[in-house]
Amino acid sequence: MLGTLLCNPNFKFFTLSHKTYICSKLIIMAGNSYGTLFRITTFGESHGEALGGIIDGCPSGITLDLEAIQLEMSRRKPGQSAIVTQRKEPDDVQFLSGIFEGKTTGTPIGFIIPNTNQKSDDYSHIKDNYRPSHADYVYEKKYGVRDYRGGGRSSARETASRVVGGAIAKQMLPDIKINAYVSSVGPIFLEKPYQDLDFSKTENNPVRCPDEESAVIMEEYIREIRKQGDTVGGTVTCVIQNVPIGLGEPVFDKLHAELGKAMLSINAVKGFEYGSGFCGAKMKGSEHNDLYNSDGTTKTNLSGGIQGGISNGMDIYFRVAFKPVATIMQKQESLDNQGNITEMTGKGRHDPCVVPRAVPIVEAMAAIVLADFYLINKIY
């Protein structure tokens, strides 16, 4: 099987080295905030009382469309279609501060998303077990203690808070258009360039692929995978239009570097490329350079709308790779905390393919990154 991984010939996927250190006692989790001026900080475990967060830096005087926010939540929530997890979580967001008489006041926006549909006993079987390719083992080794119910903090449920932040960021940036969609599911690729797609069709099918034909094939494939008790990976492509020139802070905080980090911080992401991406590495300069039109636009856009880390006004586009969900409904070996190899079968209600629900998360993180750079520059 591994022989098919032709595009990555320089790796073999088995172990060589391994080193165990004993952790010190004071271990913290430092990375729960994102952004400098527009900043989201999240909290919450999958099976605690509530998730939530604080959005810092949302300008005052913005009339928030709360329904639009809830709509984004619904795009991410479980149970929305037959090809995603059948958990029923309403994912209702409750705002506790920062909004007065319908408008933002410039003060921090606190919000919670109550956890209403926890079935914690679904997870008792993993209390003493480390599921393969999950974060169970590293959390226990790092923190010495672990909320084992549904992955705890490592669960993708945390992304619900990001969607709230992204929905508000989108309303702060009304001119900028952010459209993500599923561009591959397993081996099935959408073969059309984004310019030939109609983004308004993305929500027409449960896969969130704007090309109907491809969507049908992808959906069928996911159903088949689910029947096998298996899961499959995929890619999400995101296109950002109407971006002002000048966003991005070189040298370290280049616009694409920050977009890359934001995407790679989403659960299950394994890769990020923008513009010509990995293909660009095969090309010559004479092929790759984007020649100018006299108005400063470019004839081609292999740069992906970013040059030297700064937006140049052209479309920004990038692609994000998601691995298959680790929880499968087949028998698999796992490790218990006594060092025994045991056998387990996934329980609970899990996604056979994560990318349809990842689409709003990708958009949300993109919006958060843009909002932050927008404030740093305050371009208008």
Q: At 362, phi and psi to the nearest 5?
A: -60, -45
Question: What is the smallest separation between the CB atom of 364 and a second copy, expressed in angstroms?
Answer: 13
Question: What is the smallest separation between the CB atom of 179 and a second copy, expressed in angstroms?
Answer: 12
Residue 223 counted as an annotated binding residue: no
Question: What is the smallest separation between the CB atom of 152 and a second copy, expressed in angstroms?
Answer: 7
Nearer to a second copy, 204 or 242 (CB): 242
* Cα gap 159→75, rounded to integer Å: 12
* Cα gap 189→236, rounded to integer Å: 11
Residue 12 counted as an annotated binding residue: no
Nearer to a second copy, 1 or 200 (CB): 1
Residue 30 counted as an annotated binding residue: no
Residue 268 counted as an annotated binding residue: yes
3-class DSSP state of 60: coil
Question: What is the smallest separation between the CB atom of 203 and a second copy, expressed in angstroms?
Answer: 18
Residue 167 counted as an annotated binding residue: no
Nearer to a second copy, 76 or 134 (CB): 134
Nearer to a second copy, 200 or 294 (CB): 294
Nearer to a second copy, 86 or 94 (CB): 94
Residue 152 counted as an annotated binding residue: no
Whether the Cβ atoms of residue 306 and residue 280 lie closer than 8 Å to each other: no
Nearer to a second copy, 73 or 320 (CB): 320
* Cα gap 210→203, rounded to integer Å: 7
* 324: Cβ contacts below 8 Å, ≥ 6 apart: 230, 231, 232, 233, 353, 354
* Cα gap 364→168, rounded to integer Å: 9
The answer to whether the peptide bond before residue 369 is cis (omega within 30 degrees of 0) is: no
Question: What is the smallest separation between the CB atom of 329 and a second copy, expressed in angstroms?
Answer: 9
Residue 177 counted as an annotated binding residue: no
- What is the gyration radius of the CA atoms in the chain, in angstroms? 21
* 352: Cβ contacts below 8 Å, ≥ 6 apart: 83, 84, 222, 225, 226, 230, 231, 232, 325
Residue 325 counted as an annotated binding residue: yes
Question: What is the smallest separation between the CB atom of 35 and a second copy, expressed in angstroms?
Answer: 9
* 339: Cβ contacts below 8 Å, ≥ 6 apart: none
Binding-site residues sit at 76, 153-155, 267-268, 308, 323-327, 349
Binding-site residues for FMN sit at 153-155, 267-268, 308, 323-327, 349
Binding-site residues for NADP(+) sit at 76
